[in-house]
Amino acid sequence: MRLPPYATLLGAQLEYAADGTPVMRMPFAEAVLGRPGFLQGGAISGLLEVAAIAALRHALAEEGGGRIKPINVTVDFMRGGRDHDTLAAGIITRLGNRVANVEAVAWQDDRARPIASARMNYLIERA
């Protein structure tokens, strides 16, 4: 799957979960640092966005492809992002003809203890 240049800026790499759905992994690095020892909130938000894009491109590929445009994003920050890899996955709540509703969650050691989550709405332009 092709990912946007912004994923490279974040140092995020694409992996796949056991069920074949995309998971993004972002190592802790200077380029995503905020206050000393913690990830910047925008970098976490960016990772959530890339995870949502990966989930949507993965799902759309099975339906003939299409372009996606963000409408809005709401990010909740639950825990500080520490000096560990951060994982993120997008969960598509609904993939409609025109709009997709996606949830994305980011975690470090334990998926049940997320560091941040986001709700996103995307405009879909099907191929």
Partner 1 sequence: MTFNPAKMMDQIDLRRFGGHGGRLGIRFHARDAEWVELAMPYAEDMIGDEDSGVIASGPIIAMMDIATSLAVWNRIATFVPHATVDLRIDYLRPARPGRTVIGRAECLRVARSISFTRGIAHDGDIDDPVAHVAATFMVPSGSYPKVTP
Q: Where along the sequence are the contacts to partner 1 (CB under 8 A)? A: 2, 4-6, 8-10, 30-35, 39-43, 45-47, 49-50, 53, 67, 69-77, 80
CA distances from 97 to 22, 41, 105, 110, 117 (A): 22, 32, 24, 34, 25
Shorter beta-carbon distance to partner 1: residue 18 or 74: 74
Shorter beta-carbon distance to partner 1: residue 20 or 66: 66
Provide the minimum distance between the beta carbon of 72 and partner 1 in the complex, in angstroms, as a whole number. Answer: 5
Shorter beta-carbon distance to partner 1: residue 69 or 94: 69
Provide the minimum distance between the beta carbon of 67 and partner 1 in the complex, in angstroms, as a whole number. Answer: 7
Give the burial string for 49-76 (b: 16+ CB within 10 Å, else e): bbbbbbbbbbbbeeeeebebeeeebebe
Shorter beta-carbon distance to partner 1: residue 13 or 45: 45
CB distance 86 to 115 below 8 Å = yes
Provide the minimum distance between the beta carbon of 100 and partner 1 in the complex, in angstroms, as a whole number. Answer: 14
Provide the minimum distance between the beta carbon of 71 and partner 1 in the complex, in angstroms, as a whole number. Answer: 6
Determine whether 17 is exposed, middle or buried from the number of CB atoms within 10 Å of its CB (0-12, 13-18, 19+).
exposed
